[in-house]
Structure 1
Amino acid sequence: MRSHIKAAAAAFLLLAGVGAAAADEIVIAPEQDTVIQEYVKKQPLASVKVPGVELNIGTALPDTVELHEVPNVKYRYVVIDNRTVLVDPGTHKIVKVYN
């Protein structure tokens, strides 16, 4: 009986963790995404290197990486390894990577 309770508790904790991770997911409206992509094309930046950083959603960039504003958009952008990266300026976490 105790093993069933432990298994149920472990499953609950696992599912709670998945729910918390899903709650952190950033959804960018298609209209806003279009505005961002058009602005970035008109305002190209030189690509920078950030050694040891993988370009994945949720990865925090070092505070030394200069982020650039997109007018009327909460997020900022930077070009790393020739890929445009959208970043939350408050956390410096990547929210989207454009190819």
Structure 2
Amino acid sequence: MRAYIKSAVAGLALAAFAGSAMADDVVVFKPEQETVIREYVKKEPIASITLPGVELNVGSTVPDTVELHEIPDQTYRYTVVDNRTVLVDPGSHKIIHVMD
């Protein structure tokens, strides 16, 4: 019985650690922030690219070869993939937000 309890506790600890690691990838944008971003991207359009084999999900990584474009007064960058605006952390190249 003790071995079962230890295993359960270890599993819960691992799940909590994994959940906190995934939470680090999530950036929450307020509606007004998204509006500012959408207006900027519309005003400064760039060509849409395709990235075969890359899923457009938060936490996925875009290749280092992808050109990332600045948004004034923001720490993240953007690109357009399959006609969707993708916000990317410039240091890790991880997707932090996908806009439809």
- TM-score normalised by L of structure 2: 0.86
Runs of 4+ in structure 1 off by over 6 angstroms are none
In the aligned structure 2, how far is the partner of 1:53 from the partner of 1:24?
16
Distance in 2 between the 1:85 and 1:19 partners?
23
Alignment RMSD (CA, Å): 1.5
5+ residue gaps, structure 1: none
Aligned-residue sequence identity (percent) comes to 56
Deviates more, 1:12-21 or 1:63-72: 12-21
Q: Distance in 1 between matches of 2:50 and 2:5?
A: 51
- The normalised TM-score by structure 1 is 0.87
Structure 1 residue matching 2:62: 3-state secondary structure:
coil
CA distance in 1, matches of 2:77, 2:21: 24
2:88 equivalent in structure 1: 87
SS of match in other structure, 2:80: strand
* Structure 2 residue ranges without an equivalent (≥5): none
Distance 1:23-1:66 versus aligned 2 partners, 3 A rule: closer
SS at match of 1:28: coil
Q: How many residues align?
A: 99
Alignment partner, residue 28 of structure 2: 27
- 2:25/2:58 contact within 8 Å kept: no
